[in-house]
Structure 1
Amino acid sequence: MKYNNATYIAQTRCWLENVVLKHNLCPFAHKPFNGGQVRYVVTDSARVEFLLEDLQQELAYLRSVPVAEVETTLLIHPGVLEDFYDYNDFFDLVEGLLVQEGYEGEFQVASFHPDYQFEGTRPEDAENYTNRSPYPMLHLIREDSLEQAVTHYPDVDAIPQRNIDTMNALGAPHHQAVLAGCLQQTDEA
């Protein structure tokens, strides 16, 4: 279903609040979220090459604004790379873009997708919900911000296993219900 940008953002924000922040999946996400420094961008790109252009524009934008204004961007792309395996293959192009355009070492791009599946898991495994979002999404992260956050957080290496344990304890039906609830959001209210 095609929505307006405000609805895509509201649904994504619902997921961010009710999954990522509520379960502390990324302990570094609270600061930019609470500070209003998360930029939500919806692209209407329907082709991979246009999404790469949008990604490059967002990286340039992030480079041009102070971190106090925008720390991170969620680039939501509901019309392209809906198949998870195509989306996963797309990350070779993302890595190439970071190198080619001189962003390597300055930015990282994390991945979220409605059908995200970690290697060695089954599609229905609850732990996949650590990276399942309402829509395919690229998370643009400033490496300096990440490095600063990591230095103040004890036992960073334990985060992935803690997240897996949290997701598994809640179970896939819980996560499915939360995502379904977020997809009922219709505006930024």
Structure 2
Amino acid sequence: MSTDAQLLTREWVKQLVIGEGLCPFAHPVFDTLLIDVSHSSDLETVTAEFMHLLQRVAEADPQQLPTALFVTPEVLHDFDEYWNWVGICDNLLYQLGYEGILQLATFHPLYLFEGEDEADMSHFTNRAPYPTLHIIREAEMEAVLASATKPERIPERNRKHMRRLGREGLLKAMPALAKSRVFDDQR
């Protein structure tokens, strides 16, 4: 059963992450990408669901489940609250024995890089329609990075691309973002 949050997140990955080349590693796993949406408004329940997904990914065959997105449309709307929760999730990953096996990447509708002007388009490299954690297999990431040309330049290239694209270009690439919190100027 697909949900609106699941569909919008999948569209975001297809149109922006892959379509705009933000992650050159996303296209090969797109067809097997698991998007797990928590519909709970209770953070304790959401955290338990996240722990279950961590275990599921860690124990799955990497060919069957190479990566997963955990989406939380009902909670963590405040970026600082989300960032604190990410720290808890990182700690849980360590406590569950998955350090060195799995890692997390962070996305939020109001993502802000420390030290960047709030209006800078660079933040949009990590802005997703909903608070999201990306569970990545470290071995897979290391293999992909070893075959990539100058992977250390990807973050800066993405920031420059978002600045060139601008708000209008981003909305042209994915009009559905206009209805999401990604462009919510109310912080």
Which segment drifts farther, 69-78 or 122-131? 122-131
Taking the aligned partners of 1:180 and 1:76, their CA distance within structure 2 comes to 20
1:71 aligns with 2:92: no
Residues 120-161 of structure 1, C-alpha deviations (whole Å, 9 max, x = no match): 123321111101111111111111110110110010110011
Conserved 8 A contact 2:40-2:74: yes
1:123 aligns with 2:118: yes
| 1:5 Cα deviation from its structure 2 partner | 4.5
**Identity rate, percent:** 33
1:9 aligns with 2:6: yes
SS at match of 1:162: helix
* Structure 1 unaligned blocks of 5 or more: 185-189
| 1:78 Cα deviation from its structure 2 partner | 0.3
Q: If the length of structure 2 is used for normalisation, what is the TM-score? A: 0.89
Q: If the length of structure 1 is used for normalisation, what is the TM-score? A: 0.88
**Match for residue 28 of structure 1 among 9, 25, 28:** 25
Conserved 8 A contact 1:124-1:172: no
Residues 9-42 of structure 1, C-alpha deviations (whole Å, 9 max, x = no match): 1111111111110111111111101xx2200111
Structure 2 counterpart of 1:160, one-letter code: P
Structure 2 counterpart of 1:131, one-letter code: N
The 4+ residue runs of structure 1 with deviation greater than 4 A are 176-180
RMSD of aligned alpha carbons: 1.9
**Match for residue 83 of structure 1 among 54, 78, 82:** 78
* Structure 2 unaligned blocks of 5 or more: 180-187
SS at match of 1:111: strand
Instruction: Give the total of aligned pairs.
Output: 180
